[in-house]
Amino acid sequence: MFNKRAWSIWLVATLFVAFQLFVGILFGISTKELSSALSISGMDVSNIVAIYFLAYACMQIPAGFIIDRVSIKYTLLTASILIVVGLILLGITHSLLFAYLAAILMGVASSFCFVAAVVLIGRWFNPKMFSVVVGMTSGANGL
């Protein structure tokens, strides 16, 4: 049976995961800009990227616990706000320290995206469709 609400929620969750992926690749496409704007070396830019992914990886399991204990709506709202704040901070900073803090903020907030999408899929779809819809989410974001 086709449930419009479930598919609408899936679409929004998938777009949020895509947004998080764009944030993750932002560093790769803006290396020269970051380097010149902050007057830092390529090694420092690599450290910013590494800090982002380290924060992202370290928060995957805690993100699941937080999503289970706190409303998913508020968790995703907070995560999206923190990602935007991190992007703004990265855009206006002239300090390597604040660039590191922005990367940590964005990495921590981004860790909630895919975990939340999987939780939402589990809540809104038939268990027989779970793996198919999770695969569609991964596939859509791999394009």
pTM: 0.89
For residues 75 and 67, the answer to whether their CB atoms sit within 8 Å is yes
Residue with the two structure tokens 């049976």: 1
Distance CA 139, CA 64 (A): 21
- Model confidence over 1-40: pLDDT tens digits? 578 999 999 999 999 999 999 988 887 788 888 888 889 9
Cβ count near 67 (within 10 Å):
19
- Model confidence over 33-66: pLDDT tens digits? 888 888 999 899 999 999 999 999 999 999 999 9
SS3 104: helix
Cβ count near 118 (within 10 Å):
19
- Model confidence over 79-96: pLDDT tens digits? 999 999 999 999 999 999
